[in-house]
Amino acid sequence: MNFDELLAFAGRHPYLSFGLVGLTLAILYTEVARLFRGYKALRPAELTGLINRDNALVVDLSSTNDFQNGHIAGSKSVQPSQFDPENKLLAAAKALPVVVTCRTGQASAGAARRLKKAGFEHVYWLDGGIQAWQQADLPLVKGRG
């Protein structure tokens, strides 16, 4: 297919052409935004390595009941309404790796962004949250932690 044929196709199918351009731009925007967000997404296996190798602080933003029903061993429970980068638990870990998680990974992404803006050096986010951890067949502990 040459350029003239491509232009002819675009002329015959404008909606498909606009759709392709729109999807391409959306994918490019998402990927570029991910590169510049300042924190890194982790898969569950990567998180276990970070905890074991670098003694990362894991902050769980799940509700109290969800946290007590199952959380990553050693993680600290912080309610989303009380999440503050200047909190004494977090402020003491400013130079350490800090991983933020929640049940699905949605609330924790925003919290990771806040930590990075507050000057935390090594900020991570568990992509998929505790659900991804469970799907990877990794253990959870019950209770207050």
Q: Rounded distance, CA 114 to CA 28, Å?
A: 24
124 annotated active-site: no
Q: Rounded distance, CA 98 to CA 122, Å?
A: 6
| Catalytic residue selected from 59, 93, 102, 109 | 102
List of E strands, the chain: 40-42, 57-60, 76-77, 97-101, 122-126
Active-site amino acid positions: 102
